[in-house]
Amino acid sequence: MAAVVAASGVAPVRARFVTSKEQFHAYLRDRGQEEEKEEEQEEEEVGIGQGEPPAKRVKAEGAGRDEESGEDAGAEEKEPVERKRARGQNKSRPCMKPNHYEQNRLCPSVTQGCADKCFFGPRCRFLHDVGEYMALKPPDLGHRCVLFETFGKCTYGVTCRFAQAHLGDGFQSIINTELAKQWEGKALVRNSLSKELQHQLRKRKFSFKRAEEFLRALAKPRGDGRKGGKAMGCSAEEQEVSNCTRPQEGHGDDPACPVLPGQGEDPKADGLQSPSPTGDEEAPSVHTAGPVTDEDVIKLRPCEKRKLEIQGKLYLAPLTTCGNLPFRRICKRLGADVTCGEMAVCTNLLQGQASEWALLKRHHTEDVFGVQLEGAFPDTMTKCAELLNQTIEVDFVDVNVGCPIDLVYKKGGGCALMTRSNKFEQIVRGMHSVLDVPLTVKIRTGVQEKMNVAHKLIPRLREWGAAMVTLHGRSREQRYTRSADWDYIAECAQVASPMPLFGNGDILSYEDANRAMQMGVSGIMIARGALIKPWLFTEIKEQRHWDISSSERFELLRDFTNYGLEHWGSDTQGVEKTRKFLLEWLSFLCRYIPVGLLEFLPQKINERPPYYMGRDYLETLMASQNVDDWIRISELLLGPVPPGFTFLPKHKANSYR
């Protein structure tokens, strides 16, 4: 019997699994109703029926605000009268960040055990009576608290939505002393924003000594009457060679190769192994177990900076919204070698915005970790680089020159820097001069579809001081339509040598990864492929197709929710943040087609999944691209959604053409 040939652009699912849209949704609807009836019967038997209304969701439409970061809202745009072609984002989605997560909140002073020292005093609008709060609090979502089971105590106390697991008489929190001692003094998450540092940034009292020196030199006119910004002295490679061959005392005296601002400052001896303190104080000497270091006497020269040695490693791309810390923990566990935080806007970091600083947080399991900065001007980017160099612990800093979204591009950032070579050079040189860790740059092939410029920029980036370049094989105009141009990536890899170049685009199987490595790149960066199937890292390392079961995938989702509750909290606010990011991830996960259902392997990233029946109910539910079914999955993990809950994913599937 001849195999059924799939339509162009549609994934080749075996004929016996393929179904119609109507049959697919009818099956899920009927099974969903059966599941709800079974749950209601169980609740009646156990006596749990608390009466929290599930409030059926409606797929939200209409004008609203788009969130450009994981938590902050972005610019507003009116919904067009005529429906336009998908451009990768749901710009008209409503603002889903609620004004309050609970109608009646308990005062933080009570939660922290100092009710007599309420910061708000008599003006406080929060509840101070724990009994009154517990009477009004929504029902608990489960009998097990992941914080209590993992760390021996839950810092959210009575506000925890799983509080019955650790509340004793008089609503007092129970502590597992033996387990709590094991975690005492251990910093699980680093790079947090301290109140002191936030105050300094808001009051503009933070010192940017090295950045200001560079910027002063940038504004200083050169001998030919021009300012020093376009071509400041010799290249980074030439400086490196000269600095290694000439004595330290005469450094900078030769007029043929002037010292760039920031060189000759007092950098840390090892940017990759000696973290900076959190705060504004000077970086202390490196703590060693052997002889006393001479760091305070001999200053690091550029040639002595630690190199970024990640050739051949699997690099998880910085993913806006979805690349949060809990998701990175999942990928790290499944085989990712290098991780990077979500894109952070430099101006927001300089203003001390807590939500932007949250994007820089690093879990202790992330052994090779970097942060990605976005900005359009050398002053803010150089200052931000110096700020991070002094206050957080990272292995590299990446410059985002690949972001295609309009909000960033129109301000001169992201892809726009590829057309603003003067500013681009000043940004890279400035950041390189103030950083003690390697500087990397992520770019696209160009801005316009048939006008590639990356091969011209890459040699210059090496001269300006970049330690590595990552190239996404598409232009800004392409977004995610059509296939990535790996032939062009191979051409750029030759131009970049000896500087390492990582390739990025369309990797969804170990075969794709093998073909990419044959192009001569130093390594591969995985973005959408990790969102669709985070076990891709395991497949690449083990060189196999993993026919992962629906129950195994569900356990990954459960682990994500547990990590989310650890990271964002187990109170109502933390639960709903976890749910939001889980739903964003599910909007990508639903594109995965199980290996056992495919007519032939592997699945291609730009092939649209047809409607198909899975091998069990859960597998079919996970294949749904209906937002109500994603919410159903979230309810299996995090309990019922709040009344009036709506969700619309941030990103559209603009890759199927």
620 and 24 Cβ atoms separated by less than 8 Å = yes
**Nearest one of 612, 543, 556 to 589, comparing CA atoms:** 556
> 644 burial class (0-12, 13-18, 19+ CB within 10 angstroms)?
exposed
Amino acid at 326: P
**Nearest one of 578, 264, 609, 593 to 434, comparing CA atoms:** 264
Helix/strand/coil percent split, the chain, to 5: 40, 10, 50
- Separation between Cα atoms, residue 43 and residue 635, nearest integer Å: 15
- Separation between Cα atoms, residue 527 and residue 328, nearest integer Å: 12
**Which of 340, 403, 415, 492 is an active site residue?**
403
Other CB atoms within 10 A of residue 657 CB:
11
403 is catalytic: yes
Q: Per DSSP, what are the bridge partners of residue 471?
A: 443, 503
Other CB atoms within 10 A of residue 129 CB:
12
The residues near 91 (Cβ < 8 Å, ≥ 6 apart) are 66, 77
Token pair, residue 9, equals 């652009």
550-568 helix and 325-333 helix, angle to the nearest 10 degrees: 140
Token pair, residue 456, equals 């011209």
- Separation between Cα atoms, residue 476 and residue 457, nearest integer Å: 16
- Separation between Cα atoms, residue 92 and residue 479, nearest integer Å: 19
E strands, 427-521, where? 439-444, 468-472, 501-504
Please give the positions annotated as active site: 403
